Amino acid sequence: TQYIQQSSGVLAVFACGLGVSHFGPKAIVADLKKGLEGVWVFAEIWLFTFTGCVMSFNALNGPAQSNRGINPGQVQNFLQVLFAGQCGRGAGILFSHAGCYCLLPEHRRSPLYFCSLVLCTWIFQIPKATVQATLGGLPLQYHLISGINGLTIATTIQQFAAFSILIMAPLGVMLTLFVG
């Protein structure tokens, strides 16, 4: 229920934002946009600062325990999981767009337009994935994985989340600048 409560708050803020931007006076919408861009400058710093803090939040996984660094043997596994995840994300985006292909206007039903739509949707989802990856430290922080290997598994999840941010965030920025 905690997840549903957090999600419903995000959806309420999103719906309010869409309502104000669609039905509100243009001058107020422009002022809100400018103000929120200023807030994002500081929110971005907090977001990535807290992401870094999650990497070493207590003595169980601090630098003295040598659990902060990524094991070189795991890098190949991490890259394979990242590749498989991006292929799955691309397949999901392709599948969801295929359902609305027949609803597109006649002049936009060309394969080139459809492929570019799917590709751009995939590219613009990369930053969302990197923000979601900041939650990778939660299994370790809240001791969600029990058992003898629970700490090791949770630490691996945390390291993979940080590694995915290091790979996907610059890739997402480069692709968005190229396409955008």
Please check the confidence at residue 1 and state whether its pLDDT lies above 70. Answer: no
Distance CA 89, CA 21 (A): 29
pTM of the model: 0.59
pLDDT for 21-41, tens place per residue? Answer: 888 888 888 888 888 888 888
Name the residue with higher pLDDT: 137 or 104.
104
Task: Give the pLDDT confidence score for residue 84 in this predicted structure.
Answer: 92
Residue 38: φ, ψ to 5°? -70, -40
Asked if residue 125 lies in contact with residue 36, where contact means CB atoms within 8 angstroms, the answer is no
The 3-state secondary structure of the chain, one letter per residue:
CHHHHHHHHHHHHHHHHHHHHHHCCHHHHHHHHHHHHHHHHHHHHHHHHHHHHHCCCCHHHCHHHCCCCCCHHHHHHHHHHHHHHHHHHHHHHHHHHHCCHHHCCHHHCCHHHHHHHHHHHHHHHHHHHHHHHHHHHHHHHCCCCCCCCHHHHHHHHHHHHHHHHHHHHHHHHHHHHHHC
Name the residue with higher pLDDT: 78 or 55.
78
Cα distances (angstroms) measured from residue 160 to each of 8, 76, 150, 175: 28, 11, 15, 22
Radius of gyration, alpha carbons of the chain: 20
Where does the pLDDT of residue 58 fall: very low under 50, low under 70, confident under 90, or very high at 90 and above? very low
| Burial 147-179, CB ≥16 within 10 A → b, else e | eeeebebbbbbbbbbbbbbeebbeebeebeeee
Task: Give the pLDDT confidence score for residue 147 in this predicted structure.
Answer: 78
pLDDT for 62-95, tens place per residue? Answer: 444 445 556 677 788 888 988 998 899 889 988 9
Side chain identity at 119, as an amino acid letter? L
Least confident of 40-49, 88-97, 100-109, 124-133: 124-133
Token reading at 61: 């996984």
Q: Determine what percent of the chain is predicted with pLDDT higher than 90.
A: 3
Task: Give the pLDDT confidence score for residue 8 in this predicted structure.
Answer: 66
